[in-house]
Structure 1
Amino acid sequence: MDALLPEALPPGTLLGPWQVDGRAGYGTYGAVYRAHRRGQTSAQPVALKVARYPNDLRFEREAGLLARIQHPGVPRLLGRGTWAGGSSGEAHPYVVMQWVEGVHLYDCAKEHPLTFRRTLRLLAQVARALEATHARGGLHRDVKGENVLVSPEGRAYLMDFGCGTWEGAAPLTEGLLAPGTKVYRSPQALRFYGNPCHGAHAPYRATPADDVYALGVTAYRLCTGIYPPLATSPSFIGDDGGDPQEVLKPPSQVKPLAPSLEALILRMLSHKPQDRGSAGELAAVMEAMAETAEAEPDEPTSPDSSRVSTEVTSPPVSVPRRESVGPVALLPVAAGLLLLVAGHVNVGRLQASPSAMTDGGTGGVADAAVEAFPVSSAAPGSKPSGLSLDMLKEPLPGQRRPPCPGWQVSIRGGCWIEVLQTSPPCGEGAYDWKGACYFPVVMPPRPGTSDSH
């Protein structure tokens, strides 16, 4: 009998006292299963996340953070352990958590446009979950709509703490920035990343204000259907500041919005961390606003699902249009494409570690599930409009393979260059990978082994 793979456990497999019911999804670092305690098939199911690689410390840190947080808006830690059923016989850690049934926050707004009061209450619930996390010295570090589930009862849960950490926890990834999603990065994080004076051994130290900023991006996206521009004020290009930052449009210029809610969103998006307020302060303001509005008509605040645009407002890379150009055909011109976007690629600051500027799943257990966490009733996530290619599952023919130089990123067995200041849709010829855009690196042709005559 072939050895079991951690990402392909059949129903009935036992991991300690837990029995697998079925897989909910898997990614680079782990797989998520719906499971139950052995002998208790009628009990509530649990979410069991098992590492694809032996001795993965990400899982232990996620469990350690969840064990510190006791809040109704955060899934409860129910257990942890190791499984040694793989082909190597080595220990694969797993984490067992409360199963949360629901839909992602942005999908919830598309299916049932949110009213003013409901928007405030959902955001307040996420803020309260962050307040509890920060009170225990923890950080989530990947707050976004995809990591918030709304239950059928209307309760918001802050999910996927795989990118999280707490005060005193040992760092697990290299690079200037911890795992996270680029469009949700704070101005301080992006400026730190773009500053050539910082060495590779001086990583950015995130604070609760970074989580609050990401909550502001989430609120902006929830109420307008688009993301605000990247938070950095100086450009990544050149020493003189280069291109100016795209101006942040107040939410009401994108979609009609109550002035009080707009002011709250802009407060969270302030460039000064001290002006954003703590998660607890913001939650209290949101709750008070919702209570005060009880006597007023409750108007929708989320974009209509028929008109919502998921386009990121950062300018896409301009690439000459070609008809019927497939991924393989694009490789011979990849070097030329890199020259075309040279004004948007900071070669000197790119790190070999994908944790620097990629989605949270790159460095955390967030990537364990295709849907970021098992979601039984969620609709499939929508793709941004525009020209974009999903990241390939394996390298293209002729693409450079790891080890990649320090200014390239290793993704799924190939070397890539990230296009900074651009978020999906990436433009034709670029590949979308966890909230960022990449071009493949082509290996130069090898010289002939014999002379020509």
Structure 2
Amino acid sequence: MDTLFPEGLPPGTLLDSWQIDGFVGYGTYGVVYRAHRRGQAASQPVALKLARHPNDLRFGREAELLTRIQHPGVPRLLARGVWRGGPRRDTYPYLVMEWVDGLKLYEWAQRHVFTSREVLRLLAQVARALAATHANQGLHRDVKGDNVLVTPSGEAFLMDFGCGTWEGAAPLTDGILAPGTRSYRSAQALRFHWTHRRASAPQYQATPADDVYALGVMAYRLCTGTYPPLATDPSRMGDDGRSTQEALVPPGKLNPLVPVLEALILRMLSDKPQDRGHAAELAEAMEWGAATAGPEADEPVSLGQPEEPGHEGPPVVPSADTRAPVSPARHRDDGSLAFLPWGVGLLVLIAGSVSLEGLGPPSSELRDGGTGGVADAAVEDPRVSSVAHGSEPSGVSLDMPKEPLPGQRRPPCPHDQINIRGGCWVEVARATPPCGEGSYDWKGACYYPVSAPPRPSTSDKP
């Protein structure tokens, strides 16, 4: 039994005084099981999160942060220990946490008819949990819809502190940006990453204002079904230095919201950190808005088809620390993945240079358990294939053309693309020249051109 991998523990397996009931989900660094205390099968279940890598220090840091917070909107840490197993009898740390029954926030929104008042109440609960985290000199660093669970009674829990840290904690990653998810990055983090992307530089120091910005992104996405454009991302500036950043559309123009909710969302999305406010004061404003808003706050908020740049799988009940190794691409009509004929080189790159190890679940029965916790993965678009570390694409890379290629998409480019010399391009994550067939070399990175979206037919249907 102990020769099994952490991802494959069957029901009945014992980890000290805890007995596994069944598998729940997994991510890059951890796998989550439903469990109970040995000999107490009828007792309240717990979430047991077991490391997938031996002696993973992230688990100790997460345990310390959870111990510091002690807030009703954050799952309680009940125990911690180590499991010796695997073919080499390695030591794998694990955490035992309070079990939370609920749906991920965006899935909850899809299944429920909700109002502006309900949104204010849910956001206030998340803001309170964030305020408790910040009050204890901690940071979550991955606030997003996948990391908020809503219970049937309407309670919101802030989950997954696997990316979190606290003041004075030793850094555990070498990347420019700490763990997180790109779509929720603040303007300051994106600028820092772009400025230092090709140089050795100190890691970006996240602050509570970064968590607040991510809360604003989550609120915008919850209320509109879409994400705001990336926060003043300098990577989307053209060669002439002019920004092609999409303008932020106020959420009330996409979906009717009460003024207080829209104002709070826009405040959290402010470009300047000092203008966003602290989590505690935002929570108080949200609670006040929910209590004092008029009847219009009880009108249903109607969402269209959601836009999610990552996995939105089945509800994950406990906290799972990392996103799945690969997120399924969502279907789009904007041409972002419809490369031009020379983009066929992408197939060559995938076939010849991308490591497939770890891209699938450990077994066909496993499903995604949560969110991203890898620093370098956090700044990639999950829809772009990544070249494995240490691999080198075959073929000869092409120099960047001085003007857009025929049929190439022109600015404004979507948030996952970059404007270079008047055309839209997708960067091959972690790839460096020589780039391989069909890709182009630009300032030490590799890019594929993006085709223009097809024009709607103007001919009459027969």
- Shorter-chain TM-score bucket reads 0.7 to 0.9
Match of 1:289 in 2: 289
**Cα distance change of structure 1 residues 401 and 275 upon mapping to structure 2, 3 Å threshold:** closer
Shift of 1:404: 4.4
**Equivalent position of 1:308 in the other structure:** 305
CA distance, structure 2, for counterparts of residue 56 and residue 286 of structure 1: 38
Q: Is the 8 A contact 2:142 2:163 kept in 1?
A: yes
Partner of 2:441: none
1:333 CA displacement: 7.3
Partner Cα separation in structure 1 for residue 58 and residue 80 of structure 2:
12
Q: Residue 403 of structure 1: which of 383, 390, 400 is its match?
A: 390
Whether the 8 Å contact between 2:257 and 2:297 is mirrored in structure 1 is no
Superposition deviation, residue 330 in structure 1: 4.5
The answer for the alignment partner of 2:63 in structure 1 is 63
Residue equivalent to 2:154: 154
- The gaps in structure 2 that reach 5 residues or longer are 310-331, 352-365, 372-380, 393-412, 419-425, 438-462
Give the letter for the 2:336 counterpart.
V
Q: Find the aligned partners of 1:187 and 1:102 in 2 and give their Cα distance.
A: 32
- Return closer, same or farther for 1:277/1:37 CA change in 2, 3 Å cut-off: same
Written as runs of structure 1 = structure 2, the 5 A alignment for 1:31-430 is 31-196=31-196, 199-237=199-237, 240-293=240-293, 298-301=298-301, 303-304=302-303, 307-310=304-307, 317=336, 319-320=338-339, 330-332=346-348, 370-372=368-370, 401-404=388-391
| Conserved 8 A contact 2:227-2:307 | yes
8 Å Cα contact 1:32-1:369 kept in structure 2: no
Q: Deviations over 1:376-425 (max 9, x none)?
A: xxxxxxxxxxxx99678xx9xxxx654147xxxxxxxxxxxxxxx85679
- SS of 2:298 mapped into structure 1: coil
Structure 1 alignment gaps of length 5 or more: 336-367, 374-387, 406-420, 427-431, 446-453
Q: Matched residue pairs, number?
A: 364
Percent of paired sites with the same residue: 59
The two structures have a TM-score, normalised by structure 1, of: 0.72
Contact 1:18 1:35 in 2 (8 A): yes
Q: Measure the CA separation in 2 of the matches of 1:128 and 1:293.
A: 20
For 1:231 and 1:331, locate their aligned partners in 2 and report how far apart those are by CA, in whole Å: 31
Kept in 1, the 8 Å contact 2:2–2:89? The answer is no
What is the CA deviation profile of residues 106-155 of structure 1, one whole-angstrom value per residue up to 9, with x for unaligned ones? 11111112112111000000000000000000000000011000001110
Deviation at 1:370, TM superposition (A): 1.5
Letter in 2 for 1:227: Y
Partner of 1:79: helix, strand, or coil?
Answer: strand
Amino acid at match of 2:390: P
Q: Which amino acid aligns with 1:142?
A: D
CA RMSD of aligned residues (A): 3.5
CA distance in 2, matches of 1:151, 1:186: 29
1:278-323 CA distance string (max 9 Å, x none) = 000000000011111266661123x33xx2341679x86364467x
Per-residue deviation, residues 8-29 of structure 1 (Å, max 9, x unmatched): 0011111111110011112222
Q: Which residue of 1 aligns with 2:11?
A: 11
CA distance, structure 1, for counterparts of residue 249 and residue 185 of structure 2: 18
Query: What's 1:417 paired with?
Result: none
Structure 1 CA distance, aligned partners of 2:296 and 2:388?
Answer: 60
Distance in 1, matches of 2:430 and 2:233, equals 25
Q: Return the alpha-carbon distance in structure 2 between the equivalents of residues 251 and 66 of structure 1.
A: 33
Compute the displacement of 1:234 (Å).
3.2
Q: Give 3-state SS (helix, strand or coil) of 2:245's partner.
A: coil
